[in-house]
Amino acid sequence: MAANGWTIGIIGGSGLYALEALEDAQWIAVDTPWGAPSDEILFGRIGDVRVRFLPRHGRGHRVPPSEVNARANIDALKRAGCTDVLAISSVGSLREALAPGRFVVADQFIDRTRNRPGSFFGTGLVAHVSLADPVCPRLSALAADAVEGAGGEVTRGATYLAMEGPQFSTRAESLLFRKWGADLIGMTALPEARLAREAELPYALIGMVTDYDCWRKANASVEASEVIAQMHANGDLARATVERFVALLPSERTASPIDTGLDRAVITSPEARDPALLARLDAVAGRFLGIK
């Protein structure tokens, strides 16, 4: 029997493509009105907790960052019954103290992506969710505790700058992002975190540091081969962290303010709402719209 209330969605990024600890595991295709997600979802459980695992880039790392359909991914996790989402991503470091191999639980984001659909809402249903604090503090604390419990080194709190990619940053960009106060750099956390908030899914992100980007030395650069090597080194700790995270969940899931965020975000009056858009929002906004 699953833990009361918890269904944890795990979005595995570069370096985490599978979860061997899942029991009763089954890959299931989930259709969404936003297109195809990155892959099927691996349904299963760890102990008594329901888990839904989605590889962000697809099995075999088929999907580049700019083409990840984040709307479909979040919608699919919502349709799969997820109550909360833990995302895991490989990241570059913009700080000397955040060395390769270190895990970092991000709590803020800067968006430098382009041309990625960043919202489920639009003409026919306007919503403005609050993103002042874009991650769930409860999940983030549990995630950091889980890294430590798995034997890893973790930093609690950091600003993640999301760039478009797929190229790594220029040296000038890397130096600029440091001046902006960014600590980590990656290509996938946004619009993922934004969309999770719109879907009323508490979200936390663990960044697995693979490199120092290119700010550190005049001759430093980021090479994919080096990143891949560190990703593989991080993989075992990431899997152990997920298992520990699930073990740390309270036996009862108490409500989060994020669960009802749309109550404070939707502006469009009921009579002006577009039925076609409402139909697409049956999963992400079903609670608010009264759709079962």
Please list the active-site residues: 211, 213
User: Are 110 and 173 within 8 A, CB to CB?
Assistant: no
- Per-residue CA distances from 21 to 25, 47, 116, 232, 243 (Å): 9, 9, 33, 18, 7
User: Are 150 and 240 within 8 A, CB to CB?
Assistant: yes
CA 41 to CA 223: how far, in whole Å? 31
Residue 206: φ, ψ to 5° = -105, 120
